[in-house]
């Protein structure tokens, strides 16, 4: 027996089943996207060889990777690098399972976190000339520069600030020194215009200002008045491996500790290698090693020569000025009286000196610990120094030259064995062996006082010079001047020979001072 409602029930069941199937498809089954068959339309994404999901386009995959990178770097001052080699396997399908962008992004983030390759920390690079150091924070930079300043700013009156370097286009910071006292004064002062009685009083004081007595010593404020770094400082932000970042204590030691810095030193009058080594606190052996031109401690040095020395200096120079009070004994400048009738080799002390005493306030400028200049602000002499007075000659003394060209020194000045019968055992000049007929020149300009035969000298010439000295030329073969004739230095006066008491062709030459022979070789230029 069939029920009348059976057909309706069956139809309802079919409809319900169909609806359930549709709902199951929508909410239970994975997402399948129907697409037209027009090329690759589904992409399986892998990151560093690990599958992270499937998306519908390459653009969507790259977008997910960018989002994963942002999350990876978020919330850290460090710059963390991770390997991110993304590959995609493309296919052309009518229906495909697609993952959500969030799922793919999260999967990528997990892969990045497992593949960290390098961590770079935020840091600050401080550059001073050729020296540079990396610090972990800006606070460390301030601490470093303040430590360099503090070596000389013992009262902590100045502070360091970092400002943009106007000479650089990139983001570079440089140092600026600020007086704490000036900053506090600016902050506490209110600059209001003067009016009425205040203005009138100011005008009166301005007019009588020149009449105010000079300051006394107690009125000067002593101590540091100005300070700045002597080297340009550049600070840039960067990301570096932790292995390249220096600790603050080490950086302070490197920047403030004196380093042995090579410098050029010009030899002064009175210098010796030992004295130079002592003055610069350098072992003599080290001074010799650093100069190729110096072979040993006996090597000759001349005024004006330049050698390498080392001077202790910090990496970062500090220039500063201090107002200082001091008392000292002092010497007055030497007073010279010129005598135009004396040679420059002659001088006589007319008055002996004695030291004076004074007290002073001066602005003294330094570079590190080296004084650069001194500007006296006030000076008071307790008792005057007595100057040394020296009378000195102004005439440059004549010079003497070798009277022949060439020749071999065959006999020196002084005691000797008699070379031949009749010859003296004390040689009063020097001999140069030279062929007969060699030109003989006047060693210095003067007046011929004798020209002729002179017993053991053979043919001989005497010349008197303006400095009171006399020269003699013996054993000549021919005389070319006569007595009373004036000759110039280098003028030809005779020919060499072998006359008189002689053992061979040569020139005998003498210089006499005060009538006594001296060693000519000590006076020839």
Nearest Cα to Cα of residue 401 among 484, 346, 465: 465
As a whole number of angstroms, the distance between CA 398 and CA 467 comes to 7
Pick 130 or 189 by higher pLDDT. 130
Q: What is the mean pLDDT of the chain?
A: 85
Tell me the β-bridge partners of 524. 400
User: Residue 8's pLDDT band (boundaries 50, 70, 90)?
Assistant: very low
Pick 396 or 132 by higher pLDDT. 132
Contact of 309 with 362, CB cutoff 8 Å: no
Q: Phi and psi (nearest 5°) for 374?
A: -140, 120
Q: What is the pLDDT of residues 196-235, one digit of tens each?
A: 555 666 666 565 555 445 789 999 999 999 999 999 999 9
User: Residue 75's pLDDT band (boundaries 50, 70, 90)?
Assistant: low
Residue 60 in this model has a pLDDT that exceeds 90:
yes
Q: What is the pLDDT of residues 405-432, one digit of tens each?
A: 999 998 889 876 665 555 566 788 999 9
Nearest Cα to Cα of residue 54 among 42, 66, 38: 42
pLDDT recorded at residue 22: 42
DSSP string of 65-108, one letter each residue: HHHHHHHHHTT-SSEEEE---EEEEEE--SS-B---HHHHHHHH
pLDDT recorded at residue 407: 92
pLDDT recorded at residue 195: 54
**What is the mean pLDDT of the segment spanning 43-59?**
92
Q: What is the pLDDT of residues 451-497, one digit of tens each?
A: 999 988 999 999 999 888 999 999 999 999 999 999 999 999 999 99
| Rg of the chain taking only CA atoms, in angstroms | 49
If residue 70 lies in a helix (H) or strand (E), which one and from where to where?
Answer: helix 58-73
pLDDT recorded at residue 281: 83
pLDDT recorded at residue 117: 65
User: Residue 397's pLDDT band (boundaries 50, 70, 90)?
Assistant: confident
Contact of 43 with 61, CB cutoff 8 Å: yes
Tell me the β-bridge partners of 411. 431
Residue 40 in this model has a pLDDT that exceeds 50:
yes
Contact of 444 with 524, CB cutoff 8 Å: no
Whole-structure pTM value: 0.51
Contact of 87 with 52, CB cutoff 8 Å: no
Residue 253 in this model has a pLDDT that exceeds 50:
yes
For 385: left if phi > 0, alpha if psi spans -120 to 50, otherwise beta; the answer is beta
**What is the mean pLDDT of the segment spanning 47-56?**
92
As a whole number of angstroms, the distance between CA 13 and CA 3 comes to 16
Residue 95 in this model has a pLDDT that exceeds 90:
no
User: Residue 29's pLDDT band (boundaries 50, 70, 90)?
Assistant: very low
**What is the mean pLDDT of the segment spanning 95-115?**
88
Residue 16 in this model has a pLDDT that exceeds 60:
no
pLDDT recorded at residue 519: 93
Pick 395 or 168 by higher pLDDT. 395
Minimum mean pLDDT range among 3-12, 60-69, 77-86, 352-361: 3-12
Distances (CA, A) of 271 to 98, 261, 283, 303, 464: 91, 21, 16, 8, 38
pLDDT recorded at residue 334: 96
Q: What is the pLDDT of residues 164-189, one digit of tens each?
A: 998 877 789 999 999 988 877 777 66
pLDDT recorded at residue 375: 95
pLDDT recorded at residue 5: 44
As a whole number of angstroms, the distance between CA 294 and CA 302 comes to 12
As a whole number of angstroms, the distance between CA 273 and CA 267 comes to 10
Residue 163 in this model has a pLDDT that exceeds 50:
yes
Nearest Cα to Cα of residue 471 among 438, 507, 509, 497: 509
pLDDT recorded at residue 11: 46
User: Residue 257's pLDDT band (boundaries 50, 70, 90)?
Assistant: confident
Q: Which residue has the tokens 């100045």?
A: 158
Percent of the chain with pLDDT over 70: 84
pLDDT recorded at residue 206: 60
The terminus-to-terminus CA distance of the chain in angstroms comes to 158
């Amino acid at each position: 027996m069939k029920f009348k409602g059976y057909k309706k029930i069956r139809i309802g069941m079919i409809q319900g089943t169909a609806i359930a199937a549709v709902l199951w498809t929508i909410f239970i089954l994975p997402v399948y996207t129907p697409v037209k068959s027009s090329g690759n339309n589904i992409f399986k994404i892998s990151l560093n060889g690990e599958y992270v999901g499937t998306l519908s386009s390459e653009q969507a995959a790259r977008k997910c990777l960018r989002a994963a990178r942002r999350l990876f770097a978020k919330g850290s001052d460090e710059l963390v690098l991770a390997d991110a080699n993304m590959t995609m396997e493309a296919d052309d399908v009518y229906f495909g399972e697609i993952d959500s962008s969030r799922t793919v992004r999260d999967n990528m983030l997990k892969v990045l976190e497992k593949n960290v390759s390098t961590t770079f920390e935020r840091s600050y690079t401080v550059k001073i000339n050729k020296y540079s150091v990396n610090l972990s924070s800006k606070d460390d930079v301030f601490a470093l520069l303040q430590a360099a300043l503090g070596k000389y700013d013992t009262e902590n009156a100045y502070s360091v600030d970092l400002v943009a370097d106007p000479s650089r286009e990139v983001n570079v910071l440089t140092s600026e020194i600020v007086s704490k006292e000036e900053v506090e004064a600016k902050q506490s002062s209110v600059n209001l215009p003067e009016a009425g009685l205040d203005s009138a009083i100011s005008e009166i004081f301005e007019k009588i200002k020149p009449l105010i007595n000079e300051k006394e010593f107690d009125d000067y404020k002593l101590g540091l008045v100005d300070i700045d770094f002597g080297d340009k400082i550049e600070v840039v932000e960067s990301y570096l491996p932790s292995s390249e970042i220096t600790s603050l204590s080490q950086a302070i030691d490197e920047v403030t500790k004196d380093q042995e810095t090579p410098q050029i030193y010009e030899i002064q009058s009175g210098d010796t290698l030992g004295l130079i080594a002592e003055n610069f606190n350098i072992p003599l052996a080290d001074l010799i090693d650093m100069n190729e031109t110096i072979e040993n401690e006996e090597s000759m040095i001349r005024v004006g020569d330049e050698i390498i020395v080392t001077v202790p200096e910090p990496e970062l120079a500090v220039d500063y000025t201090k107002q200082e009070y001091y008392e000292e004994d002092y010497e007055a400048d030497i007073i010279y009286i010129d005598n135009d009738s004396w040679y420059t080799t002659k001088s006589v002390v007319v008055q002996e000196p004695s030291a004076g005493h004074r007290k002073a306030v001066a602005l003294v400028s330094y570079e590190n610990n080296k004084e650069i200049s001194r500007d006296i602000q006030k000076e008071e002499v307790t008792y005057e120094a007595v100057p040394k007075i020296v009378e000195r000659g102004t005439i440059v003394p004549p010079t003497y030259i070798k009277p022949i060209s060439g020749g071999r020194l065959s006999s020196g000045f002084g005691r000797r064995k008699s070379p031949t019968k009749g010859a003296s055992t004390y040689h009063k000049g020097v001999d140069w062996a030279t062929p007969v007929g060699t030109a003989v020149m006047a060693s210095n300009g003067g007046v011929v006082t004798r020209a002729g035969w002179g017993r053991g000298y053979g043919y001989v010439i005497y010349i008197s010079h303006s400095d009171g000295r006399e020269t003699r030329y013996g054993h000549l073969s021919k005389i070319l001047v006569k007595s009373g004739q004036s000759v110039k230095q280098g003028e030809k006066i005779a020919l060499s020979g072998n006359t008189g008491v002689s053992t061979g062709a040569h020139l005998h030459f003498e210089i006499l001072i005060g009538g006594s022979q001296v060693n000519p070789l000590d006076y020839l230029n």
